[in-house]
Amino acid sequence: MSFIKLWIAILLLCATNIIGQEVENTKALKINQFGIYDTDLLPASFHKKNREKLRSFMPNNSVAVFFSSPVKNRSNDVDFQYHQDPNFYYLTGLREPHSILILLKTPVDINGEQTNEVLFVQPKDESKEIWTGKRIGKIGAELLLEVETALDNTTFNAIDFNFEEFDQVFHFPLATDIKDNPFDKSDLNNLCLQFGAKLSKTEPDKINQSKPFEWLNRLREIKTEEELVLMRKAIAITCEAQIELIKALEPNMTEFQSEAIIEYIFKSNGAEYPGFPSILGSGENSCVLHYNTNRKTMTGDNLLVSDVGAEYHGYTADVTRTIPVNGTFSQEQKIIYDIVLKAQEAGIKKCKEGNSFWDPNIAATSVVSQELQKLGIIKSPIGVRKYFMHGTSHYLGLDVHDVGTYLPLKVNSVITVEPGIYIPEGSPCDKKWWNIGVRIEDDVLITSDKPEVLSDCIPKTTNEIEKLMKEPSVFNRKNK
C-alpha cells in the first residue's frame, strides 16, 4: 500500500469512528431527554418480539388487555419506590405507572389508524415531572419502546373501543389494592373503572382471565440471551456482595450491618434494588426461613444465613450462603452444613433438560432424610419435613419466585437449588443441634449438556469459607 493510500485509509477510519461516536452521543442525548440513563437496558426489539409471541397464542378476533402495576403507598403522602408489573414490563419495557397495553390479534381502527397494539401512557406534564421525574409520553413510547401506537392515558375513556365485537377478551384479574388519586382522572384506579365500564356489556363467557397466566408462564420460563446477560450481571453483583460479607463478618456485628455491606455492593454496582427483602438471620434467626428484621447483634457461636439477591434492570439473583460468625464452624454446625451441601450437589445433578422440575427436590430431600436419620435427629423419612419444610427449587427471572410451567426442565430456564436444615430451639432432638440453621442456594441454568451453576464463584465448602473469612475486607473494623 502506498503512503498516500495508507493516509486515506487512516482518515476514513477516523471519520467513521467520529461519525459512529456522534451517532451514539445523539442517541444517548435523546434517551436522556426522557430520563433514561442506562445504556444496557433490554432493547425495544426484545419486548416487541414478546408481544408478537403472545399474539401468536391468541385466537382470531380476540383482544388482550394488560395493566401496569399499582403505585404502593408507604404511609400518608409517601409512596414506595415504583416497581413495574413484571408481565407488563416483559411486554412493553415501560417502567412508568398508570398505563394500559391493548394487544389485538388483527389490526383494528383506532383514532383513524389501523393498529394491532396500543399503549396508553401518562402524558408529558412539566408541572408534574418536576416532582416525580421525566415521563416518556406517547412520543417517547413510540420512539423508544417501538410500540405501534401510543396514546395519552387521558384519552382511554373517550376512545370508541367496543369489546363486545370480539369473540374473546383476555386480561388478568384487576388489582384490588389500587390507590386512588382524586386529582388524577386517568390514574390506574380510574383506568380500571373505565375498562370495567367498557367491558360491562361483553358476555361473561367471552372474558378469559386464565389464559394470560398460561401464555406468559410459557414465555417467561425460557430466557433469551438478552435476558441471560442481565441475569448474569445480577448474579455477579450478588456473588461479589456475598464474598465481601464473608470476609467482613465478625462477632458483635449486627445483622443490619451485614445487610448494609450486601446492599452497598448492590448499589455500588448499579443494581436498582434488592430483588427481595434481604434475609440476614443469625443464631435462632437462622431457623426462620424468610426472616428480614435483621436487628440482632451476632455472637461468635452463631451461624448467619445470608439469603440475598441483587435486581439489575428487572432481573434478580437469589443466592444463599451460611457463614460462621467467628470464622470457624463448630463440629455440630459442620455436620449439618455438610449434609446440606451434599443434598445440594445431588439436586444440581438432576438439573438436566427433560428431567422433572421436581427431580432436584426429590434428590435433595432424600439425602437430608437419610442423613438426619443416621444422626438420630429424625426417626423415619416422614420426619424430614420438620427440619426441611420448603421446596428445593423455584424459577428465577423477573421475579425472585418467577413464573413457569413446572413441566420437564427446558434449556435456558433458570432455577434455584436451595436445600436447608433448620433445627430451632426446643426441637425433639439433642440440644447440641438447637439453633443450627443452614441453607445453601445457587442459581442454575439448564443447558443441553450439564447444568451451569451461575453463582459458583462463591465458596461453598466449610474449609473454603473459613479460609476466605481470614482475608481482610474494606469493611472490617479491625485487622484480622
Element (H, E) at 324: strand 319-324
Task: Output the domain CATH number for residue 126.
Answer: 3.40.350.10
pLDDT beyond 70 at 18: no
Q: Spell out the SS3 assignment of 337-363.
A: HHHHHHHHHHHHHCCCCCCCCCHHHHH
pLDDT beyond 80 at 161: yes
Same domain for 213 and 358?
no
Q: What is the pLDDT of residue 183?
A: 86
Q: How confident is the model at residue 355 (pLDDT cuts 50, 70, 90)?
A: very high
Asked if 56 contacts 211 with a C-beta cutoff of 8 angstroms, the reply is no
Q: How many helices (H) and strands (E) does the chain have?
A: 12, 19
Domain assignment present for 421: yes
Same domain for 244 and 172?
no
Extract the C-alpha cell encoding 294: 435483621
Element (H, E) at 281: strand 279-282
Q: What share of the chain is helix, strand, coil (3-state, %, to 5)?
A: 40, 20, 40
Domain assignment present for 360: yes
**218, 247, 272: which is the final residue of a domain?**
218
Q: How confident is the model at residue 113 (pLDDT cuts 50, 70, 90)?
A: confident
pLDDT beyond 90 at 282: yes
- The mean pLDDT of 139-151, rounded to a whole number, is 96
**218, 248, 275: which is the final residue of a domain?**
218
Same domain for 214 and 304?
no
Domain assignment present for 158: yes
CA pair distance 157, 153, nearest whole angstrom = 8
Same domain for 206 and 228?
no
234 phi and psi angles, rounded to 5 deg: -60, -40
Q: How confident is the model at residue 480 (pLDDT cuts 50, 70, 90)?
A: low
Query: 279: number of CA atoms within 13 Å, CB side?
Result: 25
Q: What is the pLDDT of residue 176?
A: 87
Mean pLDDT for the chain overall: 93
Q: What is the pLDDT of residue 370?
A: 98
What domain range includes position 42? 35-218
Q: What is the pLDDT of residue 24?
A: 46
Residues paired with 120 in a beta bridge: 100, 151
What amino acid positions are annotated as catalytic residues? 77, 290, 307, 318, 390, 394, 401, 418, 422, 439, 441
Domain assignment present for 17: no
**175, 201, 218: which is the final residue of a domain?**
218
- The mean pLDDT of 242-258, rounded to a whole number, is 97
Same domain for 292 and 163?
no
Domain assignment present for 122: yes
Same domain for 292 and 439?
yes
Same domain for 226 and 211?
no
Answer whether 0.85 is exceeded by the pTM: yes
Domain assignment present for 349: yes
* DSSP three-state, residue 318: coil
Task: Output the domain CATH number for residue 372.
Answer: 3.90.230.10
**Which one, of 397, 418, 415, 417, lies nearest residue 406 by Cα?**
415
Residues paired with 280 in a beta bridge: 306
Same domain for 181 and 266?
no
Same domain for 147 and 284?
no
Domain assignment present for 147: yes
Total of domains in the chain? 2
- The mean pLDDT of 6-31, rounded to a whole number, is 49
Q: Which residue has the higher pLDDT, 10 or 158?
A: 158
Report the share of the chain in percent with pLDDT over 70.
Answer: 93
